Amino acid sequence: MLDRDRIRALFDLRSSYNARSGGDITADPYPAWHQLREQAEVHEGTVHELTGQHGDLTFHGLPDPGRPHYSAFSHAALDDAYRDPGLFASSPDPVDLEDGAPSATNSMLSMGGERHRRYRALVQPSFAPARARWWITNWIEQTVHALIDGFAESGQAELNTDFCAAIPILTITGSFGIPPEQALDLRAAMNRPAEVIAMVAPIVAARRAEPCDDLISVLTQAELVDSDGSRHRLSDAEINSFALLLLAAGSGTTWKQMGIVLATLLQRPELLAVIRDDRRLLKPAIEEAVRWMPTDPMFSRWVTRDVDFHGAHLPKGAVLHLCLGAANRDPARWDRPDDYDIYRKVRPSFAFGGGEHICMGMHVARAEIRAGVEALLDRLPNLRLDPGAEPPRFVGMYERGVTEIPVLFG
Ligand code: HEM
């Protein structure tokens, strides 16, 4: 279905990401995060420096050396930060969709307040839990089964790239109306927005002329209510900003999180067997995995006025890094927080963020992971890690995931 070597090259955490987000970091950061949280809820410094990693990690606006940096590690501090987006803004600069450089961050991701609400309201209904079936039937199900068809006969597979990586990129590009054979071109161009826009432009034009049942049609038909109450259909610049954001937010994250879920379950064969027999347990297994090891354990906020916050004085203009990985294992909220325990009482975690920017695609991501794991369990009897291959390892700092998931079945 997709060129296997190309997808392996494009979705290798260790090579393609390491300069920006620490994909080559193999140390487990959680012991350091526990220690930091015990010392203070908020520390001066960036998450990777405080964790003992001093590489050049430029992801998420880092290092942004002109500003003071702080990092928050407790659940209570993150909760307060998410509840006050006026104090902790998503961006230091105003978003300019018409004249600013197109990018995934020059989008509603970096907006605040009323403006953010108006943009988000346009697409939110397409991502609501009630729309999960729309995503599953139109794009997820066929992708999952076509990918399994590709390796079902061989008795073995490498699930991280050949399965987990392929599902989200094919889902989001499918929802744009882009054919599978162009999906990897789009992923490869992700850091070159002009190329992505050129690929999406003919679809936008076609949907404006004749809408159909896909996400680009939702965008071309949407009417934004401006601050003066007037309405307008989205401009090309507004649609492009959504397209770049959705592509960036929706492909890499779900790939890595699905890999984390699968590796975690395959490393616990007895638990996997119980879930195979009682599929109701799959939901808590996924929720617990996103708490226990969120793929993106840090997002940043910009401090808009001087404030004393959970024991630290934060000056206006500082960057506050929210370490949601650490907050998700705060013993003040979860007993035995380091245990992966699918039977624990589910309490909401920050795996998908919090507050007004909480992940818009979380129900789609959950649907993809669930459909993927269910189909593997349905179709591949005796699915197990390949004992002769290198076992999966969790790697990464700001984008965590697994190296490889070599499996045997049959
Ligand atoms: C397991 C997979 C995913 C994880 C862990 C994840 C995580 C997150 C997090 C933590 C945020 C908040 C960012 C912030 O506070 O600054 C976010 C925002 C967002 N995510 Fe996801 N995401 C996932 C999958 C998806 C998917 C599949 C889509 C779309 C198809 C998506 C679309 C978005 C969008 C549009 C936003 C911005 C929301 C806003 O600014 O209001 N995400 N995501």
Tell me whether residue 327 is exposed, middle or buried, using C-beta atoms within 10 angstroms of its C-beta: 0 to 12, 13 to 18, 19 or more. buried
- Report the chain's mean pLDDT, rounded to a whole number: 94
What six digits make up the tokens of 162?
């050949």
DSSP string across 68-100:
-EEEE-SHHHHHHHHH-TTTEES-SS---TTTS
Among 179, 101, 172, 118, CA closest to 140: 172
Given its phi and psi angles, is residue 320 left (phi above 0), alpha (psi -120 to 50 degrees) or beta? Answer: beta
Band of pLDDT at residue 12, cut at 50, 70 and 90: confident
Backbone angles phi, psi at 16, to 5 degrees: -70, -20
Examine the pLDDT at 158 and tell me if it is beyond 70.
yes
Examine the pLDDT at 45 and tell me if it is beyond 70.
yes
Atom of ligand 1 nearest to the CA of 368: 27
Q: Using the mean position of ligand 1's atoms as its centre, give its distance from the Cα of residue 373 in Å.
A: 21
User: Can you tell me the mean pLDDT for 304-322?
Assistant: 97
Band of pLDDT at residue 22, cut at 50, 70 and 90: confident
pLDDT score, position 88:
98
pLDDT score, position 59:
67
pLDDT score, position 63:
75
Examine the pLDDT at 17 and tell me if it is beyond 80.
no
pLDDT score, position 228:
87
User: Can you tell me the mean pLDDT for 370-398?
Assistant: 96
Q: Using the mean position of ligand 1's atoms as its centre, give its distance from the Cα of residue 213 in Å.
A: 23
Q: Checking DSSP bridges between strand 156-158 and strand 88-89, what pairing results, if any? A: unpaired
Calpha distance 241→104 (Å, rounded): 6
Residue 320's DSSP bridge partners are 70, 301
Calpha distance 226→224 (Å, rounded): 6
Band of pLDDT at residue 164, cut at 50, 70 and 90: very high
pLDDT score, position 5:
83
Examine the pLDDT at 317 and tell me if it is beyond 60.
yes
Examine the pLDDT at 62 and tell me if it is beyond 80.
no
- Does the global pTM surpass 0.75? yes
Examine the pLDDT at 18 and tell me if it is beyond 60.
no
Q: Using the mean position of ligand 1's atoms as its centre, give its distance from the Cα of residue 400 in Å.
A: 15
Atom of ligand 1 nearest to the CA of 82: 15
Centroid of chain to Cα 17: 14
CB of 45 closer than 8 Å to CB of 70: yes
The size of the chain, in residues, is 410
Over the stretch 206-243, which tens digit does the pLDDT of each residue have?
A: 999 999 999 999 999 999 988 888 999 999 999 999 99
With the most atoms of ligand 1 within 8 angstroms of its CB, the residue from 126, 253, 302 to mutate is 253
Could you tell me which residues come within 8 angstroms of residue 102 by beta carbon, excluding any fewer than 6 positions away?
Answer: 193, 194, 197, 237, 240, 241, 244
Examine the pLDDT at 29 and tell me if it is beyond 80.
yes
Nearest-CA residue for atom 21 of ligand 1:
359
Could you tell me which residues come within 8 angstroms of residue 145 by beta carbon, excluding any fewer than 6 positions away?
Answer: 375, 379
User: Can you tell me the mean pLDDT for 254-271?
Assistant: 98
With the most atoms of ligand 1 within 8 angstroms of its CB, the residue from 84, 362, 373 to mutate is 362
Examine the pLDDT at 391 and tell me if it is beyond 80.
yes
Angle (CA) 52-58-62 rounded to 5° is 75
Calpha distance 264→392 (Å, rounded): 9
Q: Using the mean position of ligand 1's atoms as its centre, give its distance from the Cα of residue 351 in Å.
A: 10
pLDDT score, position 54:
79
Calpha distance 360→397 (Å, rounded): 23
- For 161, 239, 401, the CA distances from 23, given in Å and listed in that order, are 15, 31, 8
pLDDT score, position 265:
98
Using a 6 Å CB cutoff, which residues line ligand 1?
90, 108-109, 120, 172, 245-246, 249-250, 253-254, 257, 294-296, 299, 351-353, 357, 359-361, 364-365
Band of pLDDT at residue 68, cut at 50, 70 and 90: very high
User: Can you tell me the mean pLDDT for 181-201?
Assistant: 92
pLDDT score, position 25:
85
Atom of ligand 1 nearest to the CA of 294: 5
Examine the pLDDT at 258 and tell me if it is beyond 80.
yes
Given its phi and psi angles, is residue 307 left (phi above 0), alpha (psi -120 to 50 degrees) or beta? Answer: beta
pLDDT score, position 191:
85
pLDDT score, position 60:
62
DSSP string across 23-57:
TT--S--HHHHHHHHHH-SEEES-HHHHTT--S--
What six digits make up the tokens of 353?
């963020």
Q: Give the number of other CB atoms < 10 A from CB of residue 118.
A: 15
pLDDT score, position 11:
79
DSSP string across 179-236:
-HHHHHHHHHTTT-HHHHHHHHHHHHHHHHHS--SSHHHHHHH-EEE-TTS-EEEPPH
Helix (H, G, I), strand (E, B) or coil at 272: helix
Band of pLDDT at residue 20, cut at 50, 70 and 90: low
User: Can you tell me the mean pLDDT for 320-341?
Assistant: 98
Over the stretch 73-117, which tens digit does the pLDDT of each residue have?
A: 999 999 999 999 999 999 998 899 999 999 999 999 999 999 999
